[in-house]
Chain A
Amino acid sequence: MDRRSLIISVGLHVSVAALAWIGLPSIKRDLPAEQPIVVMEMVQLVPTTNLTQGDKPNKAKKEQKAVKSKKPPPPPPPPPLAAPRVKPPAPKPVAKPAPKAPDPKAEILPQKTTPKPKPKPAIAQPPAPPKSKPKTTANLKAPKRLPQSPPKRINKLARQKALQKQREDALSGVMQNLAKVKAVSEDAEKKRREKERKEAAETLTSNLTTAAGNATRAPEKPVVGPLGLSDIDRIRQHVSSCWSPPIGTAGANTLIVDIIVTLDRDGKVLTAEVDNKMRLATDRTFRVAADEAIRTMFKCSPLPVPLDKYEQWKSFVFGFDPKFLTR
């Protein structure tokens, strides 16, 4: 029994070690190989999207691994890799010229003209993010990582190139050509995609039917952010300055009035209606409190809402709660 268990144990350990020996190298190779790419591309993306930084990194890393493992064709990586390695400190100059050139190309692309570009960019993003993520993260940590990574990258990249060349040999020439073409236009495509995303976000936010597009775009225009402390507090303070609560009125703590407000794009109050209309007919003090709440809304018009986020503010509820008066 002891020998069997020992043999089994040894066998399992050996198998685990073998798997680790076979699997780990590839994992290690992929990671370093991606880092340099990240550094180079980051420079290009920095000026365009700061908001996306926090949202894409997590997904991008996971997607990167998957995409890279599935896409051996990435022969394109070589060209970008060469540039970053040679000129790590001069990413900015490279980035600036690049964005301008791709613009015209981006416009030519047929994808944008199609009526359903929104879902496409969302689906297409996964592959792109892997490159953009490292960029964002690299920006934040660039100064520390850059000096350390260069030597390792060269070794690992060299290995990668060798492996990739071997793989490319196995691939058909047609595939290689396609890959090269993609590599050349990669930067342009990225920029196009970024523009497409922005355009799509603007249109998508105004159309509920494109909820899927909104969902993927939400990170770039944070929904929670605008409704956070700054905007809400500003509006609350503004409205509070216009409101005369029902001080001294009997049962003031029960006179909580909800006013449904709609605004135009300038923040001007278009309509202000009481939510609980049933109580208006039966409770005189509530009616007076409701009238005052409605007056408050019109008196405070226009409201200091973020005009660029109209879709998020065009209709909402103000709850006038005078409980604080009871004590």
Chain B
Amino acid sequence: MMMFLRLVTVIATCLGLFGNIANAQLRIDITEGQVAPTPIAIANFTGPDGVVSEVGKQIAQIISEDLESSGLFAPVDSAAFIEPPKAPSIRPNFTNWSPLGVKGLLVGSAYIDSAGMLQVEFVLWDVVIQRNITGGGGNADQNAVRRISHQIADFVYEEFTGDGGYFDTRVVYVAESGSQSRRLKRLAIMDQDGHNHQFLTSGADLVLTPRFSPTANEIAYLNYFNDEPNVYLFEIATGRTERLGSFPGMTFAPRFAPSGDKLIMSLAQNGMIDIYEMDMRTQAINRLTQSASIDTSPSYSPDGSKIVFNSDRGGSQQLYVMDADGANVRRISFNQGRYATPVWSPRGDIIAFTKMANGQFYIGVMNVDGSDERLLASGFLVEGPTWAPNGRVLMYFKQQPFETDGSGGDTHVYRIDITGFNEKRIITPSDASDPAWSPILR
């Protein structure tokens, strides 16, 4: 009996020990959260004297607008600030900022020096952990206030989301004006927020499907001159245009390879529309698909090893993926409806597309294997998705239906987060279609 009691005692002791160990490793999994914009304080930038400067106010305003437009940040009104902005070199008193409920605090200095250069410095603080997250500074032409502001906003965006920013980017699109019977279409370019708008072509020729080069310095597009499609290259810095080639018959949507040394497009030759690649240096073309079907809208994967396109080879218009050399073609879309204009995400994880089903157009995304299809936007006509360089925001154009009297048909550019939230229209001087988002500017 004594042995039994001893045994019980030993077992109980062991259980007690293990129990204590288990307590030390106690784990609670958090599998739900609050999806809400990150509250952040953007203080007006100060001048060299520590007082808020005019350009500092402007920069803080642009940064706030950038972050707020993303839908992922909620800048706090500066009127609620307890502590006036201070120079970035001064550690803030966090007890004056934490009551605002903000997670981050951006402070900085900005002024025009005696040489007429814009001098900027900034520091991003984590108000909760009370530490310096990131900081930076530099100088630029005083006309580059918006770009500098966008770049700082990108820093903030990156530190709180983990994704690269997209504020220091531009968008090229087709500006439309005039009646539907005599539609004037011109290339236009603007910052991602609609500022710094500029027309690139006169409108004398019909232009379609502009696409940025990987360096964001050139734009490839289709120019119909005398009803003949030509692939042109537009150099943004100089405004110079170069015709890369003229292809009899229909030509569609030229798009740069990630390497920038090739263009991929679809050409109608001998009664068949297939996908071709063109060497930018030699202008030689190479046929990648050889089917009796219509293969269009090719788009490279970020690493250039794959190409996604749409084809009706299966009886209806669906999405296909193949190797960059045209081998191993496989269908990835199998749901109801027709799919078009696929665009591979810069992150490489998903593909955006236009879908037509049940009398509606949709903008959606799916995994590269065709799984997990999600429709983000819909409308009478929504089409032409293009990715922000960080791969989490899409831009596209949406056209309203025409009225019986011929009015209506307004066409505008929108953007939306891949979560399906925060759809916003980009304000343009006229109707806008077929946008193309640039990479991050350098």
Contact = CB atoms under 8 A, between A and B. Distances in A.
A66 B1 contact: yes
B17 A211 contact: yes
The SS class assigned to the A binding surface is helix
Contacts of B17: 208, 211, 215
A215 B30 contact: no
A213 B13 CA distance: 8
B16 interface: yes
A243 B28 contact: no
Interface residues of B, number: 47
A313 B17 CA distance: 16
Interface in B107-121: none
A83 to B, nearest CB: 31
Contact of B162 (A216, A284, A318): A284
Contact of B26 (A66, A126, A212, A316): A316
Interface stretch (A25-33, A93-101, A294-302): A294-302
Contacts of A244: 33-36, 38
Nearest to A258: B27
A61 B29 CA distance: 40
B34 A246 contact: no
A250 B391 contact: yes
* Interface size, A (range): 35 or more
Contacts of A70: 1
Contacts of A183: none
Contact of B16 (A215, A284, A295, A319): A215
A122 interface: yes
A227 B26 contact: yes
B12 interface: yes
Contacts of B128: 295, 298-299
Nearest to A67: B1
Contacts of B35: 244-245, 247
Contact of A212 (B16, B126, B163): B16
A133 to B, nearest CB: 16
A230 to B, nearest CB: 13
A242 B347 CA distance: 29
Interface centre among B26, B32, B33, B160 (most CB of A within 10 A): B33
A223 B16 CA distance: 10
A213 B12 CA distance: 9
B129 interface: yes
B12 A212 contact: yes
Interface string B1-34: 1000100010011111101101111111111111
Nearest to A320: B30
A247 B419 contact: yes
Contacts of B241: none
A291 B38 contact: no
Contact of A313 (B12, B26, B31, B33): B26
Contact of A232 (B23, B28, B38, B391): B28
B312 interface: no
B16 A214 contact: yes
B159 interface: yes
Contacts of B349: 250-251
Contact of B28 (A216, A249, A318): A318
Given A239-B28, A248-B417, 5 more contacts: A236-B29, A236-B30, A243-B30, A248-B161, A320-B29
9 contacts: A211-B16, A223-B19, A239-B28, A243-B33, A244-B34, A244-B35, A244-B36, A288-B160, A316-B24
Interface of B: 1, 5, 9, 12-17, 19-20, 22-36, 38, 72, 103, 126, 128-129, 133, 158-163, 347, 349, 372, 391-392, 417-419
Report the 7 A-B pairs with minimum CB-CB distance, sorted nearest first: A215-B16, A285-B162, A288-B162, A316-B26, A243-B33, A215-B12, A245-B33
